[in-house]
Structure 1
Amino acid sequence: MDVLCVDGDPDSLARTVASVRRELPDAMPRSARTAEAALDLLATDSIDCVVSTLELPDGSGTDLLESVRSSHGPLPFVLAPRAGAGSESLAAAAVEAGVSAYVPSGSEDGDESRYVRIPACVRDAVEGRVDSTASEHARQLEALHEASVGLIAATSHERVAEVAVAAASDIHGLEASTVYLYDADANVIEPIASTPAALNLSGGPPTYRPGESIVWRVFERGEPEAVEDVPSDPDAYNPNTPIRSQLTLPLDEYGVLVSGSHDPGTFDERDVTLGRILAGNVVAALEQVDRARTLEERNERLDEFVRVVSHDLRNPLAVATGRLELTRAELADAGIESEHLSSVEYALDRIEALIDDLLRLAREDDPDVDLEPIRLSALVDHCRGAVDTENAILRTATDRTFRGDRGRVRQCFENLVRNSVEHGSTSSQPQAGDSVEHGSTSSRPQTDDSVEHGGDAVTISVGVLADGTGIYLEDDGPGIAPENREKVFDPGHSTRRDGTGFGLRIVERIVESHGWEIGVTEGEAGGARFEITGVEFVADDAVE
């Protein structure tokens, strides 16, 4: 603890220094005989407390107190008049001026009590400042936390700026704060939100252009600045401003946050640090608003796409299909057969399938899922009814209950089952020269079930992974070559002439919407095996 003792009387000064050294072993007394010398030491050295007499060669102790308060804020200051110099009115004036402690002077004959009380007042003043500082730091952190909550909830740049200026004023204990945002079209930084005190300044917050202010300098450099004396700064926009000190915080490419004080040298390193944190949170909130706005615009475009696909395309498609049937009937009545009509019908059917898959794919962009218990065996039963499984045997290897969005999960497994049926049965295998994703025709052993289904049935099994982390669906078809397993989820990827290439892409989207993951590997019988991990299982009695 560095204690500066100020007294124009050499004997009194020596006794004050001795009492501080004796009673405060952890103190390092410093001395000055004039107010000017004291202020010089304060400007260059770290002082924890000032002890001054009332009468000084170049002024008074109260004058020194006022100078200390204007330049060093709440630095502990003990006023200790020499014997016979104090009075009740002087004590009241000192307290009003912000003195930390007042030591009554002793009698004319002696003031030993004064030298005894000075060290105690120094200790109390310094400890009180420590407690006050800790309390202030806690308040600042609480204000920063509350600001973070408010910034997260903001849905516009304007609201982010309003929360930011209120937080800046609260954190720094000041009233004048403004957020300026950059207008790229006009190449200016303009105020978007200000506290009432900032608005009441002469002319209100101005709009800044390149190179004409401290604000623009900070925006350009991207580093915060605490200016101790604004009027003397070469980039001061208005040298006559009542703002003496200013903390300017860059908000990346968005703009700056400014807090001002009528007193010089208000902002210290802690203020800059807290300001950096607040500015970082403000930038994050502004980015969040931009992301939300981009997503909203994207959803609007998606809604327009769905409208066009579901209505504007289906209507002419229905007309074309109707005209095809009329043409076929007319040609039949005339005894004419045309192979072109089958090609037209195939093309129209393919367009219809593409529309269905595109709409399903678009709907899977919705991030909200409605979770409910789903029994695996019931899901498989649903797939038997929803998918043409005439050439397939669908089995449940193990039965468990998990949580998922029922509609989406059903769509997911319908597509997986349909994929196995279309690629797995021998009747669907290509002729020589055709390219199929699952590889060459397999030589699966015939089972009683496959004979019952005509000898070319694919067996599809659905169950729980051995480690209990998810669900698998596998078939005993020809399988998927390792180098092609990542491609099967690509949009538009298909190895069938009549495939849309969106079935497994929809599966992947549904899996991702649940926060799950899906991978492809080889099944026990050499066929394709899809594994979905990250699934949450629940007790079987959770299903009604």
Structure 2
Amino acid sequence: MTDRQDPRSTLVTDGGIDYREVFENANVGIAINDLETGTFGEVNQHYADMLGYDPDELGEKRIEEVSADDPAFDQAAAVERMQRVVDGESQTFDWLFEHRDGTAVWAEVSLKRTTIGGKPRTIAFVSDITDRKERKRDLEFVEEMVDTLGVGVAAYRESGRFEYVNQRLADILDTETERLLELSICDVNPALEPERFPQYWASFEEGETRTAETTVTLDDHEAVVETVTTCMAVDGVRYHFGTIQDVTERKRREERFQAFVEQSNDIISVLDGGGNYKYQSPSAERILGYDSGALIGENAFEYIHQDDQERVMERFEAAVEKPGGAIVVEFRFRHADGSWRWLESRGFNQLENPHVRGFVVNSRDVTEREEHERQIGELHDATRRMVEATDAQSVADIGIETIETTLAHPIAGIWLSDEGGERLEPAAWTTASEDLFGGPPVYTDGDSLSWEAFATGESIVIADLRDAGGRYNPDTPLRSEMVIPLGKHGVLNIASREPDAFSDSDVALAKLLGANAQSALDRGEREVQLQRQTDRMEFFNSILRHDVLNAMTVIKSRAEFLEADLEGEQREDAATIVRWSEDVKEIVPRVRTVLETLTGTGDPHLEAMGLGPELEAEIARLEPTYPEVSFDVSVPDGPPVIANELLGDVLGNVLTNAIEHNETAGLRIQVTVVDEDGHRVVRIADNGQGVDDEYKEAIFRRDETGHAKSVGSGFGLFFVDAMVTEYGGAIDVEDNDDGGATFVLHLPTAE
């Protein structure tokens, strides 16, 4: 930060207004972003507090470091928005940050363009909108639920007169809600005769629900409907709550509605202010095992796991104190059989709603999800341990341990391939497997399902082995089996004595473990190879650094003495030795760089680089040396390319090659650049002698070069080819209309 200008130092206008005070004390987040580094730059205290950092610490961070792990909020997206602002387009958008404590922070960001210290900058004004986002999500949930139901709703008391009707019921009867509120249920349901209505009312027991299909009429309008009527006491007053739905509409949506209501994993409950059950939907019997009505009057918190009770009660009590308050909470609830089920509940305070007078809770059984997440977490831990393992046997041992403890499969084993790939030898197995079979077998080509999966690379899942061919043991006591290939390393087998024992989730988790084990085995193999390559490179580099360079230094120094003492042709010969010695010394570092690149032992440090400056610098270097050569260069503005600090050497080698392999008198070098399909295509053309077809491939390979003028081995173009390939591009040579050669480099752009 010592060499970067503080943008706040310029925040004083000609009128003498000091904006630093405004910057520091504004009640919104403000940042002066640094587009060059992609960091927050200068931020005020409000912005820093919003994300849990101090201003200096946050200012040094890149945008993506405190943003959600989502491509929509990565560094590239942030830089693109800032660049668009610099280009004159203001930006206002929502952005998902991650607070220092890991929580999500939604913010509304407004980006403006300004100039500070003569440089274009972006100023960000940021407001925390997390609460607004959450409220919007809850509201959308409620609205979607109501819209999905799409039924008429009514409530009436002992007189039969409607106390409440909704618009949907009015639509069914082709009238207005105001008119219905002047009528009774007997006026629209001919089946309920006014004389018999008192008996009908008295026949209902509190909590009882009846479903019937009937015809409702009003004036000349008639509709066949299905009614669901429930008798419920609200504040000591009995009501009939009914839903009315057109049967035709119901039949059109019957399958979806039935799945939603009757087969849903959701339980609808109504609690009083103390947490006692007033109502619970019939799905509670299927999901939690309690008979319909068994929990009415019971306190819900007595059924919640003691480790979750206090947390849930605090959330509930806070929502009860706030009319319309809502909560979302997960907890364990005791099943009727004594086991614990994980529920995800959304609660809504409707205690002041005269038609509900309760706390409405929508609960979903998420036990399988919780268990799946636990297994995924433990699989991640196992993967980390496998990656850290030092040998294949350790990877296999960790894999079997994970299958037993995390995936809960007692019968399993891992077989690893021998070096020749001709045998699958047992590496690790569970105790239950050993008790069942004794020592596990060795598999060879064509004798088992295990070998089939290994050879094809395809997982095999058998619901019943009695129906499967290719069994290693026709009399196996096993009934179900999964065989997961581990690439070229072997297979992972999981089995059961029960048929059809594995769910889709079991198969998915087994494949995930197999993929992770394969990655760990691949990594271990690569590390062994990499260490071997590194050892060889160190040895070769030591030869280059010491033997070759030292020898060339001695040769050069002796030749320089001779050049000073000799005359005529002998002096020229000594000068040639000096030049060639310099060439050899210059090529040694490049040889080392290329070898490290090809073997993967070096870091190429690829980054976005401007093509124009590198070309211009190389041509400026060559023009004084070759004044008789004319250069025609056309490099239009364009995106940067992916390269490293050797890009100039790459371009310089191609240019030098075009000069040194032709007569320089009258030689013209033309350089053009065009953008094509995500690449900047550089064409370096000369009007020299060209390249014969038989050499157009060989010149890029050290042992097949057709040009050996300056360095004897043709390493220059080999170096160019190796580095361009490392950049993700390509190079070739073609003839041109002047009879010369055109070298074409395809360099990928960084955009």
- The TM-score normalised by the length of structure 1 is 0.52
Specify which of 695, 720, 723 is matched with residue 484 of structure 1: 695
Measure, in 2, the Cα distance between the counterparts of 1:490 and 1:284. Answer: 34
Partner of residue 749, structure 2: 536
CA–CA distance in 1 between the matches of 2:713 and 2:472? Answer: 68
Deviation sequence 1:424-465 (CA, Å, 0-9, x none): 3x25xxxxxxxxxxxxxxxxxxxxxxxxxxxx1533233321
2:719 maps to which of 506, 520, 526: 506
Corresponding residue for 2:648?
410
Q: Distance in 1 between matches of 2:403 and 2:647?
A: 48
CA distance in 2, matches of 1:480, 1:234: 62
Q: Confirm or deny that 1:267 pairs with 2:267.
A: no
**CA distance in 2: counterparts of 1:182 and 1:363, whole angstroms:** 31
State which of 376, 383, 389 in structure 1 corresponds to 2:612. 376
Whole-angstrom CA distance in 2 between matches of 1:269 and 1:247 = 11
Query: Which sections of structure 1, spanning at least 5 residues, go unmatched?
Result: 1-75, 79-94, 99-130, 428-455, 539-544
Q: 2:284 maps to which residue?
A: none
Is the counterpart of residue 305 in structure 1 residue 540 in structure 2?
A: yes
Match among 529, 533, 538 for residue 294 of structure 1: 529
CA deviation after TM superposition for structure 1 residue 319, in Å: 3.2
Match of 2:621 in 1: 385
1:423 aligns with 2:661: yes
* Alignment check: 8 A CA contact 1:168 1:177 kept: yes
Structure 1 position 465 matched with structure 2 position 674: yes
Partners of 2:746 and 2:733 in 1: CA distance: 12
Q: C-alpha distance in 2, partners of 1:486/1:475?
A: 17
Using the TM superposition, give the Cα deviation of residue 501 of structure 1 relative to its aligned residue in structure 2, in angstroms.
Answer: 0.8
Cα gap change, 1:385/1:338 in structure 2, threshold over 3 Å: closer, same or farther? closer
CA spacing shift, 1:150–1:488, aligned 2, 3 Å:
farther
- Offset of residue 277 of structure 1: 6.8
User: 1:323: Cα distance to partner?
Assistant: 4.8
1:386/1:311 CA distance change after superposition, 3 Å: farther
Q: Deviations over 1:144-186 (max 9, x none)?
A: 7995897599365467546644664588543565534345599
Distance 1:382 1:343, change over 3 A: closer
Three-state SS of the structure 1 residue aligned to 2:610 is strand
User: Once the two structures are superposed, what CA deviation does each residue of 1:122-142 show, in whole Å capped at 9, x if it has no partner?
Assistant: xxxxxxxxx99x985997699
Cα contact 1:143–1:170 (8 A) shared by 2: no
Name the CA distance, whole Å, in 2 between partners of 1:279 and 1:172.
12
SS of the aligned residue for 2:717 comes to: helix
Letter in 2 for 1:287: D
Higher helix share: 1
Residue 396 (structure 1) aligns with: 633
Alignment length, in residue pairs? Answer: 374
Secondary structure at 2:646 match in 1: helix
* Structure 2 Cα separation of the partners of residues 201 and 524 of structure 1: 75
Q: Deviations over 1:67-93 (max 9, x none)?
A: xxxxxxxxx9x9xxxxxxxxxxxxxxx
Which one-letter code corresponds to 1:301 in the other structure? R
- 2:679 pairs with 1:494: no
Maintained 8 Å contact 1:404/1:514: yes
Instruction: State the identity %.
Output: 17
Deviation at 1:311, TM superposition (A): 1.6
Q: Cα distance 1:463–1:206, how it changes in 2: closer, same or farther (>3 A)?
A: farther
Distance in 2, Cα, partners of 1:235 & 1:308: 58
Measure how far apart 1:531 and its partner are.
2.4
Closer, same or farther in 2 for the Cα pair 1:317/1:347, shift >3 Å? same
CA contact (8 A) 1:180 1:189 kept: yes
CA distance in 1, matches of 2:685, 2:501: 70
1:475 aligns with 2:685: yes
Contact 2:378 2:406 in 1 (8 A): no
Partner of 2:651: helix, strand, or coil?
helix
Q: Provide the C-alpha distance between the structure 2 equivalents of 1:173 and 1:515, rounded to a whole number of angstroms.
A: 46
Q: For residues 327 and 338 of structure 1, what CA distance do their matches in structure 2 show?
A: 7
Structure 1 residues 207 and 416 mapped into 2: Cα distance closer, same or farther (>3 Å)? Answer: farther
Q: Deviations over 1:83-105 (max 9, x none)?
A: xxxxxxxxxxxx8699xxxxxxx
| Structure 2 SS opposite 1:463 | strand
The letter of the residue matching 2:726 is: S
Partner residue of 1:358 out of 591, 600, 624: 591
| Residues 394 and 460, structure 1, Cα contact 8 Å, conserved in 2 | yes
| 1:254 maps to amino acid | H
Measure how far apart 1:512 and its partner are. 1.5
Question: What is the aligned partner in structure 1 of residue 489 from structure 2?
Answer: 254
- Report the equivalent of 2:732: 519
Segments of structure 2 that go 5 or more residues without pairing to the other structure are 1-286, 290-335, 340-363, 455-459
Which fold has the larger relative contact order, with Cα–Cα distance below 8 Å and residues 6 or more apart in sequence? Answer: 1
Measured after TM superposition, the shift of residue 338 of structure 1 is: 10
TM-score (norm 2): 0.39
Alignment of 1:103-502 (within 5 A): 154=387, 156=389, 157=392, 160-161=395-396, 164-165=399-400, 168-169=403-404, 172-174=407-409, 177-182=412-417, 189-191=425-427, 198=430, 208=440, 210=442, 219-220=450-451, 222=453, 224=460, 247=482, 249-251=484-486, 253-259=488-494, 264-265=498-499, 267-268=501-502, 270=504, 275=510, 279=514, 282-283=517-518, 285-323=520-558, 351-352=584-585, 355-365=588-598, 366=602, 368-377=604-613, 379-385=615-621, 388-400=625-637, 402-424=640-662, 426-427=663-664, 456-465=665-674, 467=676, 469-478=679-688, 479-492=690-703, 493-498=705-710, 499-502=712-715
1:25-73 deviation line (CA, Å, top 9, x unaligned): xxxxxxxxxxxxxxxxxxxxxxxxxxxxxxxxxxxxxxxxxxxxxxxxx
Query: Relative to 1, partners in 2 of residues 1:322 and 1:316: Cα closer, same or farther, differing over 3 Å?
Result: same
How far apart are 1:376 and its partner, in Å? Answer: 0.4
Q: Which residue of 1 aligns with 2:185?
A: none
Shift of 1:228: 7.3
Letter in 1 for 2:630: I
Pick closer, same or farther for the CA change 1:139–1:486 going to 2, 3 Å: farther
Change (3 A) 1:500 1:281: same
Question: In 2, are the aligned partners of 1:354 and 1:500 still within 8 Å (CA)?
Answer: no
What amino acid is aligned across from residue 667 of structure 2 in structure 1? V
Read off the aligned partner of 2:631 and give its amino acid letter.
L
- Aligned-pair distance for 1:414? 1.1
Conserved in 1, the CA contact under 8 Å of 2:608 and 2:750?
no
Higher strand share: 2
- For 1:491-540, what per-residue CA distance to the aligned partner results, in whole angstroms no more than 9, with x for missing partners? 241334443211111111221112122232234644322222243277xx
